[in-house]
Structure formats: C-alpha cells, structure tokens
Structure 1
Amino acid sequence: MLGPLLVVDDDASVRGLVVRILRSWGHAAIGEAGSVAEALDYVDTWRPAVVLVDVGLPDGDGFDLTRQLRVKPWAMRIVIFSSDADPANNAAAERAGAIGFFPKDELLSPALQRLIEDRTDDEP
C-alpha cells in the first residue's frame, strides 16, 4: 500500500472525482489542494508518496509545481494531468520531472493505476 497521496486541482469537483477514483483503487489517505501554495504546505507536512497535479493552477502551473516537488529530500511519484490532451504536455511533464502525463478523460485508465502504484511489470 502506498503512503499518502495528494490531488492538486483548482476545481473542487475534479479533485473529488480523482479522490473517488483513487479510493476505488483502495487508497485511503488522500489529501487535496487547490493551488501551488496549498500543495507545498501539504507536501511539507504529510510527505505524500504520489502527487497528481493539474497543469492549470491559480498561482502557477503543474509543471512548475512538479519542479519544486522534485527538489524535496524524499521521493515522490508525480503525475501531471490536464483537460488539454496536447501531446506536447507529455514532453513538458517529463522535462519537469513527472513520471507521466494523462489527459483528464483518461483518469480512469488502468495504465494510470499501474503508473502511480509502480506496477509497470503488470500485463496491460
């Protein structure tokens, strides 16, 4: 079982949806943040194992937040997501240090579940 997870999105309804998806996969300890500042406060307190970050945030963007999280002195698996499925987001997420990028309409994907749970050896 993973440690705490954090969902970062400025839209509370999207955060709620992602939390429900994660709970359906068996994760119980899930925090929520609506901004870069809230996310950084949560991370410093709870040290989540996985952070799911939306690209568009009111006080920055998910790529910048990912870069800030990557310098923390503990490991986190960071996945960036967006309603914009532009393929350029994949490369931008990788450059920022995320382990992957998913369009919001693919958040129910078993591939996302495998990625955040580090089950990359599993069959598709």
Structure 2
Amino acid sequence: MAQFVLVVDDDERFRDLARRLLESCGYAPGGDAGNVAEALRCAAASRPDVALVDIGLPDSDGLELSRQLTGAPYRVRVVLISADSDATSAEGAAAVGADGFIPKSELSCSTLRSIIGDG
C-alpha cells in the first residue's frame, strides 16, 4: 500500500511538482498546504504517513511544524526540504523530530526512499 504524503510549501508550483514526483515514485499525494495552519488542518483530517515540509513558511517555519506533527497523537514522519542546502539543516531536522532533510535541488525518488522507504 502506498504511503500518503502531505506536501507543505508556500510555492504552489513546487507543490504541484512535488505531487507529480511523489506519484512517479509510487507514493500517494495526501494533500498539500501553503502554510503551517493549513498543514495542521490537513494532517488532522487526512492523517498522512509522511509530511514533506519546507523550512521557510509564511506563518511560522517548517521546524516548528515538524515539532507539532511529530508530537501529534497519530504517527507522521517528517522530511524537511529547503532551497537552501545549508548543512546545518540536516542537524536541525533531527533536533525537531524530522526523519531527515533534503535540499530541493536533490529531491528525487532515490533520496525520498533513502529516508522514508518505498512507496
């Protein structure tokens, strides 16, 4: 059974691209959101297996969202993403309960599978 993945990014074009990539990798898009508030509502309603979360969001940040999602009463694995490939982002991901960090330029089926497994 395919894992449902919630895509959280304030760039609608990137969300569309990520959804298409997820489908091509065998994952099932489990909704999308442009900010933290939408993401929390969508996650509560759809209970995704994984959330692909941009670090830079307009109403807070992906680090705080990761803390909230990983503390939810249902299990959500979080993968943080960012256009900024700063090495400290990977360290920050672990500190907030995320399963990993992927620079947007390196987002691919193989990088996703290396963190969350097969779709």
TM-score, length basis structure 1: 0.89
Which runs of no fewer than 5 residues in structure 1 stay unpaired? 120-124
The separation in 2 between residues aligned to 1:3 and 1:93, in whole angstroms, is 21
Spell out structure 1 runs of 4+ moving beyond 3 A. none
Q: Please tell me whether the aligned partners of residues 2 and 49 of structure 1 are also in contact (alpha carbons under 8 angstroms).
A: no
Query: Secondary structure at the residue paired with 1:5?
Result: strand
Query: CA 1:109 to 1:5, structure 2 compared with 1: closer, same or farther past 3 Å?
Result: closer
Aligned length in residues: 119
- Between structure 1 and structure 2, the one with the greater Rg is 1
- The answer to whether the aligner puts 1:57 opposite 2:64 as a matched pair is no
**Which segment drifts farther, 106-115 or 51-60?**
106-115
Q: What is the CA deviation profile of residues 27-49 of structure 1, one whole-angstrom value per residue up to 9, with x for unaligned ones?
A: 23431100000000001111100
Q: Is contact 1:2–1:117 with CA below 8 Å preserved after alignment? A: no
Cα distance in structure 2, aligned partners of 1:70 and 1:29: 19
Distance across 1 between alignment mates of 2:50 and 2:13: 20
Please give the secondary structure, in 2, of the residue aligned with 1:78. Answer: strand
User: How many Å separate the matches in 2 of 1:41 and 1:3?
Assistant: 19
Deviation sequence 1:44-101 (CA, Å, 0-9, x none)? 1111000000001010000000001111111111100000000000111110000000
RMSD of equivalent CA atoms? 1.5
Amino-acid identity (%)? 47
Comparing 32-41 with 102-111, which one deviates more in the overlay?
A: 102-111
What residue in structure 2 maps to residue 95 of structure 1? 95
Normalised by the length of structure 2, the TM-score is 0.93
Q: Which runs of 5+ in 2 are unaligned?
A: none
Does residue 22 of the first structure (1) align with residue 22 of the second (2)?
yes
* Aligned amino acid, residue 56 of structure 1: G
Helix, strand or coil for the counterpart of 1:32?
Answer: strand
1:38 has 2:38 as partner = yes
Q: Distance in 2 between matches of 1:48 and 1:60?
A: 21
